[in-house]
Amino acid sequence: MSVGNGSTSQLNTQEGASGSNNNNNNAPLDENMVALRQALQQDRDTDQYDPAQDKEVRRKLRQDYRQLIQFTEDHRKEYANLTDHGLEETLNRANLLFTSVKNTQEGALDSKLLVLSAEITTQRARNLRMDNHLFSTDEYISKLKTLCAPGRSSQLEWDWRKLGRRAAQYSGRCQSTGFMLGPLSVEKKIRKVTKQIRLTKNKEDLVQPSKLEQGDVQQQTNETSANVNAIYALLLEQGPTNYFKFITNPESFSQTVENMFYVSFLIRNSVAGIDDTSGQPILSTRNHPTMEELVGGLSKKQIIMSLSIPLWKEIIDTYDIRETIIPTREKQAAMAEGKWY
* Per-residue pLDDT tens digits of the chain, which is 341 residues long: 333 444 444 434 444 444 444 445 555 667 777 777 766 666 666 677 788 888 999 999 999 999 999 999 999 989 988 888 899 999 999 999 998 898 989 999 999 999 999 999 998 888 776 554 566 788 888 888 888 887 665 556 788 888 888 888 887 766 666 555 555 555 667 777 777 766 666 666 666 666 665 554 444 446 788 888 999 999 999 899 999 999 999 999 999 999 999 999 888 888 888 888 888 999 999 887 777 776 766 667 777 788 899 999 999 999 999 999 999 888 755 444 444 44
pLDDT at 269: 83
- Residue 84: CB partners within 8 Å, gap ≥ 6? 78
- 89 by DSSP, 3-state: which? helix
pLDDT at 234: 92
pLDDT at 313: 93
Please list the residues that pair with 275 across neighbouring strands: 282
CATH of 223-319, one of 1.10.10, 2.30.29, 3.40.50, 3.40.470: 1.10.10
User: What order do you get walking across the sheet with 241-242 strand by strand?
Assistant: 241-242, 282-285, 272-275
Q: What are phi and psi for residue 54, nearest 5 degrees? A: -60, 130
pTM above 0.75?
no
pLDDT at 62: 93
pLDDT at 276: 86
In the chain, residues under CATH classification 1.10.10 are 223-319
DSSP 236-300: HHH-SEEHHHHH--TT-HHHHHHHHHHHHHHHHTTSEEEE-TTSS-EEEE-PPPPHHHHHH----
